[in-house]
Amino acid sequence: MSDSFRGAVDASDSQLSAESAAFRRALDVVRAVEPRVADAIGAELADQRESLKLIASENYASPAVLLAMGNWFSDKYAEGTVGRRFYAGCRNVDTVESVAAEHARELFGAAHAYVQPHSGIDANLVAFWAVLADRVEGPTLRRLSARHVNDLTEADWAVLRRELGDQRMLGMSLDAGGHLTHGFRPNISGKMFDQRSYGTDPATGLLDYAAVREAAREFRPLILVAGYSAYPRLVNFRIMREIADEVGATFLVDMAHFAGLVAGKVLTGDFDPVPHAHIVTTTTHKSLRGPRGGMVLCQPELAEQVDRGCPMVLGGPLPHVMAAKAVALAEARRPEFGDYARRVVDNAVALADGLLRRGATLVTGGTDNHLVLLDVAGYGLTGRQAESALLDAGIVTNRNAVPRDPNGAWYTSGIRVGTPALTTRGLGVAEMDEVAELMHTVLSQTTAGVGPDGSASKARYVLEEKVADEVSRRASELLSGHPLYPSVDLG
């Protein structure tokens, strides 16, 4: 089976593949209750089939993963951990959680895996609370750790902050490619820690390890966070662990974006976070190609605290999603997943090269991983304008801040693109040059618009309909040779 999840569709119209039969029957059942929902599900498949999906954080889960989520596990409450539930009747939940954790440990070479988090943000919060509970003594912390974080009042937070004292977190800044959950004030992690950020070299856009070391020595964080959502280069986790050890920090890596590259053994040695970090968090979708969810891997000394994620941060775990995680992790242990992961990086490099040849400006001048960060200021556009114009032409991206972005986090000056999804569809290096050409055509033919009062707008744009239609047609032709879910025919 190829990475486009090709199934053996019977040549006879009277026969359906197993996948087609399963999804048709499921939609029939849904349609009998609420046809608008069934129609929206079918329309989403059609939209995804017809668009160039370049959002770096999205992918396509296999039919097996998708089907594993639609079952009776959805009906179960299962607070607690395997063998220690607060509800009876969880033996089958224990099975799928154990299988998922087993696959995670084997796949990543981790000592312990906790597969309950509902998302990457939840995984980070579980990790943060686990480190606090492990490193900070205090009766209030122990008492409040037994409650769900959303139940804490402002008075609770005030008492907790006094008890925690000056607990500090050092992570990559948002505009350099970091994530909101790495201690930024608008996020709940910013309420838990006194946070400071490290950035990148202004001249190269690359991570400056000497500057990170200097910041760590000055700031003395409890947690040093590495990982990114929009940094197109590799991180040397051996060096980052050395910095953490030097200042006595717990080293946490958020590998949500590049977990698939770690699983596929593209990132090894100094670039594999698992052997170097005390604790690793991730999502299970994105480059890992599983269901939407999260996961925590950790060293043995943190396992007990991590397993208290429910009720400390999580409500009831989602057994149907854990079942899908188990299936996805089993798929990632197959040899063909390693081939897929390598092609994700090859495609990203090819896409970056194609954009550079056409005069585009890329943050850091290229990529070593699965994503490319395009500075669209050279086209005279904001990220918001570029994102909208590309979408008109059937190219799905997302706007993203660039280092020291003058347009801020909402309008931005950048577009982030990634290759996991198109690689799953089977597109290769040769097709990436055409993708670069389509993107460049749209961006070079788009101009900034003006507001109702005639002033310059950061959101409005002008793109001739004929240009958008032509690019959309060419994108459809490119995708026609790489059908999405060809084994699924909804009729």
What is the tens place of the pLDDT at every residue in 36-46? Answer: 999 999 999 99
Q: For residue range 214-249, list pLDDT tens digits in order.
A: 999 999 999 999 999 999 999 999 999 999 999 999
- Mode of pairing for the β-strands spanning 250-254 and 279-283: parallel
**Residue of 292, 325, 399, 416 with catalytic role:** 292
Question: How confident is residue 6, by pLDDT bands cut at 50, 70 and 90?
Answer: very low
By C-alpha distance, which of 58, 63, 89 is closest to 76? 89
For residues 25-44, average pLDDT: 94
Per-residue pLDDT band for 10 (boundaries 50, 70, 90) equals very low
Using DSSP, state whether 198 is helix, strand or coil.
strand
Report residue 447 as tokens.
């101009």
Q: What is the pLDDT of residue 193?
A: 78
Q: Where are the beta strands (DSSP E) in 294-409?
A: 294-298, 361-362, 371-375, 395-396, 398-400
The predicted-structure confidence for 314-357, as pLDDT tens digits, reads as follows 888 999 999 999 999 999 999 999 999 999 999 999 999 999 99
Measured from the Cβ of residue 489, the count of other Cβ atoms closer than 10 Å reads 16
**Distance (Å, whole) CA 314 – CA 317:** 7
In 168-255, the DSSP E strands lie at 168-172, 194-198, 223-227, 250-254
CB count in 10 Å sphere of residue 471: 24
Distance in Å from the first CA to the final CA of the chain: 23
Closest to 230 in 3D by CA, of 418, 438, 10? 418
Catalytic residue among 3, 254, 353, 405: 254
Q: Which residues contact 463 (CB under 8 A, 6 or more apart)?
A: 389, 392, 393, 442, 445, 446, 447
Other Cβ atoms closer than 10 A to 353? 18
How far is Cα 427 from Cα 342, in angstroms, rounded to an integer?
13
Burial profile 266-286: b = 16 or more Cβ within 10 angstroms, e = fewer: bbeebbbbbebbbbbbbbbbb
370 three-class SS: coil
Summarised one tens digit per residue, pLDDT across range 177-218 is 777 676 666 677 667 777 888 999 999 999 999 999 999 999
| Residue 254 falls in the annotated catalytic set | yes
**Residues 306-326 as b or e (16 or more Cβ within 10 Å = b):** bbbbbbbbbebbbbbbbbbbb
Residues of the chain with pLDDT > 70, as a percent, come to: 89
Instruction: Please state, as a whole number, how many other Cβ atoms lie within 10 Å of the Cβ of residue 373.
Output: 25
Tens-place pLDDT, residues 82-140: 999 889 999 999 999 999 999 999 999 999 999 999 999 899 999 998 998 877 655 55
Q: How confident is the model at residue 157 (pLDDT cuts 50, 70, 90)?
A: low
The 10 Å Cβ neighbour count of residue 468 is 21
Average pLDDT over residues 413-423: 97
CA 189 from chain centre, in angstroms, equals 18
Report the pLDDT averaged over residues 157-181.
74
Is 434 noted as a catalytic residue in this protein? no
Which position among 49, 77, 135, 447 bears the catalytic label? 77
Has residue 69 got a pLDDT over 60? Answer: yes
Determine which one of 79, 102, 346, 489 is catalytic.
79
Name the pairing type of β-strands 194-198 and 168-172: parallel
Domains annotated on the chain, with CATH? 72-332 (3.40.640.10), 337-480 (3.90.1150.10)
Residues 79 and 99: their CA atoms lie apart, in Å, by 17
Is 286 considered catalytic here?
Answer: yes
Give tens-digit pLDDT for 342-397: 999 999 999 999 999 999 999 999 999 999 999 999 999 999 999 999 999 999 99
Write down the mean pLDDT value for the chain.
90
Sign of the torsion angle spanned by Cα atoms 80, 322, 25, 38: positive
268: which 2 tokens?
């090894």
Angle formed by the axes of helices 465-480 and 429-445, to 10°? 170
Catalytic annotation, pick one of 283, 364, 412, 424: 283
pLDDT value at 279 more than 70? yes
| Residue 79: active-site member | yes
Rounded to whole angstroms, the Cα distance separating 10 from 1 reads 15
CA distances from 293 to 9, 79, 249, 285 (A): 30, 17, 27, 7
Residue 355 CB burial class (10 angstroms; 0-12, 13-18, ≥19): buried
How many residues in the chain? 491
Give Cα 460 distance to the centre of its chain: 29
Q: Looking at residue 248, what DSSP letter applies?
A: T
Catalytic site includes residue 76: no
Among 286, 289, 308, 425, the active-site one is 286
pTM listed for this prediction: 0.89
